[in-house]
Structure 1
């Protein structure tokens, strides 16, 4: 027993006498993961399947308006994003304010407080900085989620004490010092390690959300099945809940909401509990509301009927001969057909259409009558240039870009195999890397493949690369151009550190930067020499730097 304002020792003694002969009634609480704000409880039962949508819009990655608001200290805009997601159907709000040029500890604390005062929803505190995480959760009114830990021991050592001390939930990412595994079993093994380490701090499975990390189907098509299988293994064997950043699956492909919504439905079937997504996507939310009927979360289909009773099927489009004719007229020519200039070069057709199985034989045939450099400069390079233009125009997407690059690579390999080493000019040496702290390397890998095909010697240092490692390679290999990639706002600090180190130690080196979090203005601000919005732009910059 205890008392506060207005009580006295006599009063407390009298209350004690009243209850001395009574035994508290037992409480029967079903185990569940609970995420709470001061006003709302989101409960995910351990013995059932309930969906909680985590709104992803308060994250500056790729959002210029939000980035500017954070730089300006305009937290009203941040709050407006929270309110709109609540209205659109989110159950929990992810809060990420990670920009390298702001005081993240101060801003995330302010943003968390203002969101709690303006919305009813529980929050997920999303930061890679333990100090920022603690600043937010220590003043939080409720039980939030911390996003995130992963299989790296250092990260678990930093974050699990905060989770234990403040009694929060936590997201565990299935990556470790070796990166993101390719197989379901390897992802599960990391999840198992995270759960075991959490147990050492008294953190049970009912407080853990495992994120098996969605990779884009445009470059990792076989990964989709592995991700779903990994999630099922975690659900069945570890007793945890699962989250996924669903929209990543469609990056680099057209009609992103269409593919994303199908993947979302498949993920629900595999046991997904907490999709991290944009609740403003009607197609995604249609999938959520529909699945809630099938999982009996929407008992009696009451919510579904209320929402869709007057629904108009968007696939039922009235016949319109004029529109159909226009669509037929405007359709893009099939990849690999003759260009608008009538060019029917077989190398061009094979590169543009990505037909790597035929290009080796055709290259070998043409080498009988063509100089190797003539074949490269007048056949392969123009074909790759055309692919770059089609990609810029939105007529080609990542799978087509990579298929074309792979076809060109087979052709180049054929030339190198058949020609004397000195006959093929080396256009220059380039080093590429994803900066320290960032494990996203899709963009960097595409850039590497394309630059290889343009005839440059490319040294790929991989991902999560320390600035000193970049400097060492530049010195040892006499590199003139470095490409740095970052996808996370929080790792742009490492990018800036790498740029400063290179410019101080090897002043003549030029640096290209790219990634979803960057803009031309920000690239200039952190000292980069060039900004490349995509792989094709990187090739154009390399041509400028090496004077080709």
Structure 2
């Protein structure tokens, strides 16, 4: 199947996917705790009959059951060496099902190889490096291709970065179409905090052929995600919901939505914007058959050909509107002329880089430019380290700035969002090599109107260069919305018309070419005194001419206030409030100064002002809140040297810090990566303090918690986060791991005199084990409270099986445990 074939199919009809595999295998005898793919291969007729039924019900794209057949997942069952035979065998079964289905000979049914998450966390949160993950997917893909499939689907994804790794693996291995679906929580974000707009923006710009959502919820709630994606999509949207929520009935996990109700409500997903629909957990052949009838009269959606100008992190999108508010591209993270930064980078230290990022974010930057060009370091290696570090500490998108193509590509490859390339010109070899890189990784780029001859001799030549690069970009499939033109500012001291020529460039790009624009401000005033006045006045003129953004230092108040005032005078939306907030929140100075971080002058995000901290106390507290793993140990030691007792640091700085993190998480200001970073920072501090605590302080451990992922379930991302949080709150946590027999959980709880038993399950096929643990606890006479959680678990399920509590996330778990124990 070619990409053109795929596009033709979705333009002709609403495309129907299949339904659930796992829940139907379980109904047909698959026990918990086994490798599903191995069980399918041992019981092939069960799958063949199910998939024949889906095809006969109207399925156009059938998922081969290669879902968790990567080396990492198979290792959990001791089956890694069987990876080739298993993937090839599973594809063969789906082909056999299609061949045996009773359908007209002319009807074409396509087979999609199925990839999903590995369960391992990527660096810098975990220890799995990005390139290792790409190779894991490539290995599985290579074996699948030996049997031949029509396309790939990457599904049930929680991490956008893992989506990117799988997409690159497919695209670097074959030319087949690829679809990607993520799973979203009730807050319409993935476990890692990615929202629907960010997901569709990143993936469609990487060349994915369809994007959407699967599993997650029933069809009604999923409509919100589909509609959000459709508003920004240039590719078809996929919706594959569950048959409602799982409930317990006669000691069996069942889904609440029957085929008729499912079909009726799933059709609403097409109205919301989906062109490709199917069913996930709990759906059966009848669900799909009725869904086919329900969507038969709908016409496919016309795809938008106009992309949006958007940069993203992994969790946030930034829309660049040529008629919208003015934006600042922070220029500080560049070692040129900064001796202190150069020395730190040579020492492999990133403290100043992180401080510069946070300072610029606090001062109003919208994007951070990152340049590591200097002697004495490996620029590519350092750029990769810096990108990894910054994606963990800032929510601002990055602009990758380097003279070397290899450095730019290395950074784009591991950046978990949509970045900006600074820059692409007509200098020898740059455009031809960098435009394909921009397309491959879905990046936007700054168009720098230089050629091999250097600066353009006049305005006409500048326009010619701009048009040449724009045409080359659109010829390879990029669009005008991917381009930001640099106005190429010259110094007015040498060329009196420099500012006027820049204004004309901005006007030409915006009004005639509909392109976004950017300028570097400092060149205009080079060689002149009191440069800040020239720069700020020039900026006001440029904004009036239609400038989209400027490369500048956001700590320069005169410059920033001029920008905010210019938006106000141009009548930009919300410009009045932004101007008032800006000028009333900080005193105006003409020369930028670093914002001190040790005297209570941090942003209100940390909450430091609420508890009136300063000096080293503030630094310790703020290190927890902001996940400063690099410096927290230094600050804790400094606090001890200043006379603070270990118990004071724990009770008055660390615990309040992690409490603040929990509040930010609850408010959806923080997401999983920030939560983990803060918890790990606190862990470093506690490990140093624990030997120093007095006996009485050590005995202040709150309670003992035994925690486990239940038998048959090998997922532990959420469970591990709960362990980390509980330990950092002072609880004595015994982590039994994943796939733990119910008897072992109870035995451990008895021997350790546990106060709480915490159970996790991610799969509907294993959630019944929780009821078994509760039954064994009652038989044993244990007084421990049992709490449960996991992606498929709800409060109603907890009530139904007699659990003492349900928690939706790690922060909520801490609150629940404290409440149950009256702490």
Q: Normalising TM by the smaller chain, what interval?
A: 0.5 to 0.7
* In 1, Cα distance between equivalents of 2:490 and 2:566: 23
Tell me how far 1:300 sits from its aligned partner: 6.5
TM-fit CA distance, 1:140: 0.9
Structure 1 residues 349-498: aligned runs within 5 Å: none
Which residue of structure 2 lines up, in the alignment, with residue 365 of structure 1?
Answer: none
Q: Tell me what 1:332 maps to.
A: none
Residue among 185, 190, 193 paired with 2:468:
193
Partner of 2:417: helix, strand, or coil? coil
Distance 1:179 1:304, change over 3 A: same
Q: Residues 216-266 of structure 1: CA distance to partner in whole angstroms, max 9, x if unpaired?
A: 222233222112212211222222110111122112211111110001111
Match of 1:277 among 552, 570, 578: 552
Distance in 1 separating the partners of 2:444 and 2:347: 31
Is residue 360 of structure 2 the alignment partner of residue 85 of structure 1?
Answer: yes
Q: Distance in 1 between matches of 2:459 and 2:544?
A: 16
Give the equivalent residue in structure 2 for 1:45.
321
1:65 corresponds to: 340
Match status 1:131 vs 2:431: no
CA contact (8 A) 1:182 1:223 kept: no
Q: Deviations over 1:11-45 (max 9, x none)?
A: 75636446433347778897531011112211023
How large is the RMSD of aligned CA atoms in angstroms?
A: 2.7
The answer on 1:94 being equivalent to 2:369 is yes
**How far does the alpha carbon of each residue in 1:253-294 deviate from its partner, in whole angstroms, 9 at most, with x for none?**
111111100011111112110101000110110011112223
Q: How many angstroms apart in 1 are the aligned matches of 2:554 and 2:586?
A: 19
Distance 1:310 1:80, change over 3 A: closer
Cα 1:279–1:16, aligned 2, differ >3 Å: closer, same or farther? Answer: farther
- Paired with 1:234 and 1:108, the residues of 2 have a C-alpha distance of 31
Q: Which of 83, 88, 111 is 2:386 aligned to? A: 111
**TM-score, normalisation: structure 2:** 0.36
Q: The residue matched to 1:138 in structure 2 has which SS?
A: helix
Name the counterpart of 1:366: none
Q: How many residues align?
A: 314
2:565 aligns with 290
Relative contact order higher in (CA < 8 Å, ≥ 6 apart): 1
2:310 to 23, 29, 34: 34
Q: Does 1:216 align with 2:491?
A: yes
Residues 216 and 251, structure 1, Cα contact 8 Å, conserved in 2: yes
CA 1:161–1:311 in structure 2 vs 1: closer, same or farther (change >3 Å)?
closer
Which residue in 1 is equivalent to 2:115? none
Do the aligned residues in 1 keep the contact of 2:557 with 2:589 (CA within 8 Å)?
Answer: no
CA pair 180-19 structure 1, distance change in 2 beyond 3 A: farther
Helix, strand or coil for the counterpart of 1:32?
coil
2:503 & 2:416 partners in 1: Cα distance? 34
Q: Measured at CA, do residues 311 and 102 of structure 1 come closer, stay the same or move farther in structure 2, by a change above 3 Å? A: closer
- In 1, the alpha carbon distance for the partners of 2:430 and 2:509 equals 20
Higher mean Cα deviation, 4-13 or 260-269? 4-13
* Preserved contact between residue 187 and residue 212 of structure 1 (Cα < 8 Å): no
C-alpha distance after superposition, 1:481-530 (max 9, x if no partner): xxxxxxxxxxxxxxxxxxxxxxxxxxxxxxxxxxxxxxxxxxxxxxxxxx
Q: Distance in 2 between matches of 1:27 and 1:224?
A: 41
Aligned equivalents of 2:589 and 2:383: distance in 1? 40
Question: Unpaired segments of 5 or more residues in structure 2?
Answer: 1-16, 25-46, 51-278, 591-823
Contact kept in structure 2, 1:150 and 1:194, CA below 8 Å: yes
The answer on 1:156 being equivalent to 2:431 is yes
Give the secondary structure class of the aligned counterpart of 2:320: strand
1:149 to partner: Cα distance: 0.6
Name the SS for the 1:180 alignment partner.
coil
- Give the SS at the match of 2:340: helix
SS in 1 for 2:414: coil
Contact map agreement 2:424 2:434 (CA 8 A) in 1: yes
Asked if 1:177 is matched to 2:452, the reply is yes
SS of the aligned residue for 2:535 comes to helix
The yes-or-no answer on 1:304 pairing with 2:579 is: yes
Distance 1:309 1:90, change over 3 A: closer
CA distance in 1, matches of 2:417, 2:585: 38
Could you tell me how far 1:78 is from its partner in structure 2?
Answer: 0.8
Tell me, yes or no, if the aligned pair for 2:490 and 2:523 is still in contact at 8 Å.
yes
Superposed CA deviations along residues 108-164 of structure 1, whole A, max 9, x for unmatched, are 111011101000100001112111111111111111101111023511111001001
SS of 1:181's equivalent? coil
In the TM superposition, what whole-angstrom CA distance separates every residue of 1:76-106 from its partner, at most 9, and x where no partner exists? Answer: 2211111110000000000101113211111
> Structure 1 length as normaliser, TM-score?
0.53
| Partner residue of 2:532 out of 254, 257, 262 | 257
Give the drift of 1:186.
1.6
Which SS does the other structure have where 2:327 is aligned?
Answer: coil
Residue matched to 1:141: 416
Contact 1:218 1:251 in 2 (8 A): yes
Name the CA shift for 1:313/1:201 in 2 (closer, same or farther; >3 Å).
closer
SS in 2 for 1:55: strand
Measured at CA, do residues 185 and 139 of structure 1 come closer, stay the same or move farther in structure 2, by a change above 3 Å?
same
Match of 2:820 in 1: none
CA distance in 2 between partners of 1:165 and 1:259 (Å): 40
